[in-house]
Structure 1
Amino acid sequence: MRPHRFVAGIAAVMMLAACGSGNEAGSSDPNRKLNLAFVYATSTQNPFQEMAFGAKAASDDAGNVNLTLSAPSGINGAQQVTMFQSAVRNATDGVALETLTPDLFVRPLNQATDSKIPVVAVDTAPPAGTKVDLFIGNSNTDLGKALGEEFIKKVPEDATGEVVLGNDIPGLGVLEDRLKGVQEVIKAKRPKLTIKGPFDSGSEPTTNFEKWNDIVKANPNALAYLGVGAQDAVSLALIQKNTGRKFLAGSCDPDSSALQAVKDGYVFALASPEHWLKGYVALRLLADHARGKELPKGWWNTGQLVITSENVDQIIARQQNEDTRKSAFKTEVDKQLADPSKYIRPIGEAN
């Protein structure tokens, strides 16, 4: 996951879910000014920046919204808690929260919902012991399976050898679920391959590159290196460029450098959680709720996309700027908002 040159005003995003009487519809006045917030884990990595872009687009479409975007410049759970508490005080019409340290948010989330502030969780399911009952996120198990399916297309059925896995943030549920999906496919469909890891590959750009460099050196004969974070593909492509060695590499998220690595042939596939959609849906639901609509309950699965050489040019064009993202996602956004029942499952099924 790497830093991007994003508009300076966007700092980060936060996810939370509606609960208690916060689930009751808000004012029916379609014109009143809304105060909403999106608090996210870090401003330095692509997935969270994408969610912030989606949230901003939703607030623009809702109209007359004062949207506050906030995030630490690097993963810092304690700092993000402070940002969330500030958002709850000021964004009285609703807050969306995305965090990589959910266990730190049990008390802050309960304080928010007890104060009747609508909260929506984004990307990471709300922690146990909270009353947040709306979660906007993809299935990470399915995302991992999708990456695994692309991988086995590159490997003969009787292939032997090593596949090395990396995990940007060991212990984080969303990444653990992706790894489970990848391993399930490989074990079932290429059983002669030996899976090594997952090894800690680090999440910040410099750390990720250094750790992957060490992992590749320690496992020089592997036929593939697979990560599940946004920076992994970037690092694995750079290692190939630096060493002149070619190997199979795959990961997740449409980071601009990762997309270029797919185009250049260094990465066979990226499994995208389509983070922009999460940010958009979460903020649009909060805005609509504040103006009279009921806030749904459950897990809203916004879906995923596999990016390969066949569609990478289309996705590169989509990712050029905020306008191209918004235009490309419009059809999907309209479809999901038109019939929420098709996308919502019990929150306990989130994976």
Structure 2
Amino acid sequence: MEMRVASAAFSVALLLAACAAEAPTPSATDPAVLVVAGRQVDFVKELSAGFAEGVRRVPGIQHRTIGPDDVDNAAEMRMIRGFLDGKHGSVSLFTFAPELFADSLGKAVTAGTALVALHSIPAPGSRVPLYIGNDNLAIGTQLGEAMAHRIPAQTEGLVIIGSPYPGVTVLDERATGVRAAIERLRPDVTVLGPFDTKQDPGANRHAWSTLQEANPHALAFIGVGGADAHSLALLRTSVTTRIDGGVGTDPKALAMAARGPMVLVSTEPYLQGLLAGAIQARCAKDGDPLPTGWLPVPGIVVDTTNAAEITGRQSSEVARREWFRERANEILGDLPDTMRPLVDAQ
């Protein structure tokens, strides 16, 4: 009986702890809030670290980052609700499912909450006035052009594109950019995809393994999501001769890029988070409204010419902070000329 009572008490404690984790208590002392999907996702960690650094640039401003550990749209929705009443500062949101949040965010704007969409384009109807993120068509074009230049002219064969979230706008735009660039520069190549490569690391690796077994003579495999680059790097062997392409700064992929058989484009999530945190903190301190529009964050191609530098940048928080300092200062010091209309975001 005591065992059953203890077990029941333990279960209740776990339930209460889970509820507390899912619904953190809002605080008026946190004027800069970041809400994310999947805190354990590598590029989300970069967003969060950059956000904290951006807020630290403005003395006296507190910040808070919340979100489920694993990607869980419903849990993220539950966690953000208490911060949308206009009484708890500005909120930056990264989600894989902007459409799911559109109605709640629209109501939050009406309530007076200052909102920033981060990394994912806000859905129509959300009324989010500020978006900080990449030109994802340009990201895909950069990757496609870099890959095409590594395929000899007049070569015939297949290039396979994969995406861990087909249907997510930013990833679809990247895939479109990759396809268009390769077809323009290497018209004899046939481009297939994007195929669904799944977000879960194990499932992602299995999906790429299956695609490679089905297309053993493909000229290249190109992933447009962060999980893809890691899997493609893991699946290479000493006898693999093709070129692979991916997005992000996964350590294994960076090592491959340094040696030559892989090309990456970094979406610079640390810089995206830094800009969001700095803008929110600065506006909170000065009492100014957030700027409106789209603040585009350029990506960078990573290959043999700069992979060692980027690896060094990614080695520590201090290294990232120093590497991004000048670029962040340039953007923050010239916001009016850098901003673009929100309707142009892609």
CA distance in 2, matches of 1:287, 1:227: 35
Map 1:171-320; keep pairs closer than 5 Å. Answer: 171-241=167-237, 244-267=239-262, 269-292=263-286, 293-320=288-315
**Greater Cα radius of gyration, structure 1 or 2:** 2
**Deviations 1:229-270 (Å, cap 9, x if unpaired)?**
1121211121113x7433210011112222122124441x11
Asked whether the 8 Å contact 1:240–1:247 carries over to 2, the reply is no
124-133 or 289-298: bigger deviation: 289-298
Aligned to 1:169, the other structure's residue is in SS state: coil
Asked whether the 8 Å contact 2:61–2:284 carries over to 1, the reply is no
TM-aligned CA deviation for residue 65 of structure 1: 2.6
TM-aligned CA deviation for residue 46 of structure 1: 1.8
Map 1:74-89; keep pairs closer than 5 Å. Answer: 74-88=70-84
Output the TM-score relative to the length of structure 2.
Answer: 0.88
Aligned to 1:345, the other structure's residue is in SS state: coil
TM-aligned CA deviation for residue 170 of structure 1: 0.6
CA distance in 1, matches of 2:86, 2:336: 31
Question: Residue in 1 aligned with 2:340?
Answer: 345
85-94 or 105-114: bigger deviation: 85-94
Asked whether the 8 Å contact 2:156–2:188 carries over to 1, the reply is yes
Question: Residue in 2 aligned with 1:152?
Answer: 148
CA RMSD of aligned residues (A): 1.9
Aligned to 1:291, the other structure's residue is in SS state: helix
Question: Residue in 2 aligned with 1:168?
Answer: 164
TM-aligned CA deviation for residue 335 of structure 1: 0.4
231-240 or 96-105: bigger deviation: 231-240
Count of equivalent residues:
320
Asked whether the 8 Å contact 1:233–1:251 carries over to 2, the reply is yes
Aligned to 1:329, the other structure's residue is in SS state: helix
CA distance in 2, matches of 1:246, 1:89: 56
Which structure has more helix as a fraction of its residues? 2
TM-aligned CA deviation for residue 96 of structure 1: 0.3
Asked whether the 8 Å contact 1:164–1:197 carries over to 2, the reply is yes
Map 1:29-68; keep pairs closer than 5 Å. Answer: 34-68=30-64
Aligned to 2:84, the other structure's residue is in SS state: helix
Asked whether the 8 Å contact 1:169–1:203 carries over to 2, the reply is yes
163-172 or 257-266: bigger deviation: 257-266
**Deviations 1:187-223 (Å, cap 9, x if unpaired)?**
1111110112211011221111011011111111111
TM-aligned CA deviation for residue 117 of structure 1: 1.4
Runs of 4+ residues over 4 Å off in structure 1: none
Output the TM-score relative to the length of structure 1.
Answer: 0.87
CA distance in 2, matches of 1:68, 1:90: 16
**Deviations 1:73-122 (Å, cap 9, x if unpaired)?**
22211111111113436971111001101111012212321221111111
**Deviations 1:272-326 (Å, cap 9, x if unpaired)?**
1111111111121111111223421111112111111110111111111211111
One-letter amino acid of the structure 2 residue matched with residue 348 of structure 1: V
Aligned to 1:72, the other structure's residue is in SS state: coil
Q: Cα–Cα, structure 1 residues 91 and 208, in superposed 2: closer, same or farther, change >3 Å?
A: farther
Percent identical pairs in the alignment equals 30
CA distance in 2, matches of 1:222, 1:171: 24
Asked whether the 8 Å contact 2:32–2:284 carries over to 1, the reply is no
Asked whether the 8 Å contact 2:34–2:51 carries over to 1, the reply is yes
CA distance in 1, matches of 2:162, 2:234: 16
TM-aligned CA deviation for residue 126 of structure 1: 1.1
Asked whether the 8 Å contact 1:232–1:251 carries over to 2, the reply is yes
CA distance in 1, matches of 2:87, 2:277: 12
Question: Residue in 1 aligned with 2:327?
Answer: 332
Aligned to 2:159, the other structure's residue is in SS state: strand
